[in-house]
A and B are shown apart, each in its own frame.
Chain A
Amino acid sequence: MSQILEKRKTPFTRRYLMLGILSLTLGIALGIYTANIPVPKPSLLSSTLLEPAKAIAEPGLVDHNNQPFGLKELRGKWHFVFFGYTHCPDVCPTTLFTFKSVAKQLKASPELYNQTRFILTSVDPERDQANVLKQYVQYYNPDFIGLTGEPKKIYNFSRALGIIFARNKPENKNEPDNYQVDHSASVLLLNPEGKLQAVFSAPIKPDVLLKDFQSIITYYEARH
């Protein structure tokens, strides 16, 4: 019995080895072939894809818990970034409600939800200290992140992402704390390398944002 099995083993092993080599060769050939085929660009509804993604300098900001937040924290996950401030009644709450709605829909696929984070970066660090931001962003979603920091660093981070803002003078001299900040309302998408991958122009609708995000992820993963 054992002799027969021994005899049969050799051709079988050889056959598997041949099959292995063949599939490996095919695999490599296919790999070389597909690497040379450009992945078709996704057709996006409301966003502009940046190719190549734009690397940014170290932001050096702090999060809503006063913890350092920079490139290290940005790596490994997708980040939606919006610039605003807590004394903004119209555009900022509207965008954060959009984020809230997108986050809620993303929760249906927990893996994707865990790969995605939402950030409000304050353009008004004087009034938006970490604790103020924390209460503000977490009203919309306990997982949302608020960023603040030194004005110069916020400015550099905004410029790196193509965002501009300008603080207005208070309308009433007796109320120096009552002022508005004009700011770009675009939403930025940073890829898991911490690079700017796409820009969403305002006004942004949750369904459109989600659809474009999924297209961008598919495209990104096909190329990485």
Chain B
Amino acid sequence: MRLLQTLILFLNLLSSTLLLADSNPLKISHAVVQAGPPTAQVLAGYMVLENTSDKTVTLKGASSPLFKAVEFHQTSHEGGMMRMKKQNRIVLAPHAKLVFKPGSYHLMLIKPKKVLQPGNSVAVTFQITDTKTATVKFTVKLPDSGMSEHQHHHHH
């Protein structure tokens, strides 16, 4: 029994080491949640995504413990109207860069579980492939104060 446990532990360690050794193909920076009214049912998240690898990277979903749901959306100007389209996945070609910004791609953070103030942090976990996730710390900011310079990026 003990041998089996040791073996499992060893395999776990090995697998996480392997994952760590596999360099993160996705760089996420300037991660900001735009501050909004305390009663707002939705907030927008903006960021810069960069695929630093030679392979296509696909974001399959996102979640946050502070929101009921997190979705990818794209605002587009069509027929005189601003349309919001839900994107089920975000595909980044090798070495592609995609900016989530007002009037374009954004994270739609739905039903906050608490009132967020400027300066608060929001952890958002991205499902990158079926097995990989990346958790990024977004900072709640007012648009006047500009975008975040520092970034926190963890890879699991």
Contact = CB atoms under 8 A, between A and B. Distances in A.
A136 B37 contact: yes
Q: Is the interface of B mostly helix, strand, loop or mixed?
A: strand
Contacts of B83: 182
A202 B143 CA distance: 17
Interface residues of B, number: 30
Interface of A: 86-91, 93-94, 97, 101, 132, 135-136, 139-140, 164-166, 171, 178, 180, 182-185, 202-203
Contacts, number: 78
Contacts of B82: 91, 182-185, 202
B37 A90 contact: no
Contacts of A101: 144
A183 B81 contact: yes
B42 A87 contact: yes
Interface of B: 34, 36-44, 73, 75, 77-84, 86, 102-103, 106, 108-110, 142-144
B80 A171 contact: no
Contacts of B86: 171
B103 A202 contact: yes
Contacts of B41: 86-87
A184 B81 contact: yes
Counting chain B CB atoms within 10 Å of each CB, the highest count among A89, A136, A178 belongs to A89
B39 A91 contact: no
Contacts of A139: 36-39
Nearest to B75: A90
